[in-house]
């Protein structure tokens, strides 16, 4: 493999993570508007991107700088996904409060009703 090829694969991988992060933003925007059809459509698009990431991840070794960029994107993706999940399944937060002692997902103490 040439250096140019390896660099293009790294750029492609980071680009895929960026696309997933943007899609997770789109999902969150749609969820905030209760547009669940759009959420499902974007989720399907994400599944295709994630499949590409899995295949490419096995072939690419990232530098520390690239790993840091990847982790930043992944943290945002996970935060967006958690927010979408709370909007889609609001009962889970209530269940956690009842079952696990009155702490919401934001860490604020709540009283169980």
For the stretch 50-103, pLDDT in tens is: 999 999 998 899 999 999 999 999 999 999 999 999 998 887 677 677 778 765
CA distance 30 to 26: 6
Radius of gyration of the chain (CA): 18
Q: Is the pTM of this model over 0.85?
A: no
Calculate the CA dihedral of residues 103, 106, 110, 113 and round it to 10 degrees: -90
3-state helix, strand, coil in the chain (%, to 5): 80, 0, 20
HSE of 98, CA atoms in CB hemisphere, 13 A: 6
Q: Can you tell me the distance from the alpha carbon of 61 to that of 58, in angstroms, rounded to the nearest whole number?
A: 8
């Amino acid at each position: 493999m040439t250096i140019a090829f390896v660099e293009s694969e790294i750029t492609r991988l980071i680009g895929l993570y960026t696309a997933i992060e943007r899609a997770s933003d789109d999902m969150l925007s749609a969820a905030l508007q209760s547009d669940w059809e759009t959420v499902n459509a974007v989720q399907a698009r994400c599944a295709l991107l994630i499949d590409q990431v899995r295949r490419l991840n096995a072939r690419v070794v990232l530098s520390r700088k690239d790993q840091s960029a990847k982790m930043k994107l992944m943290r945002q993706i996970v935060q967006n996904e958690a927010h979408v999940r709370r909007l889609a399944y609001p009962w889970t937060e209530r269940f956690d409060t009842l079952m696990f002692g009155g702490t919401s997902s934001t860490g604020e103490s709540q009283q169980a009703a």
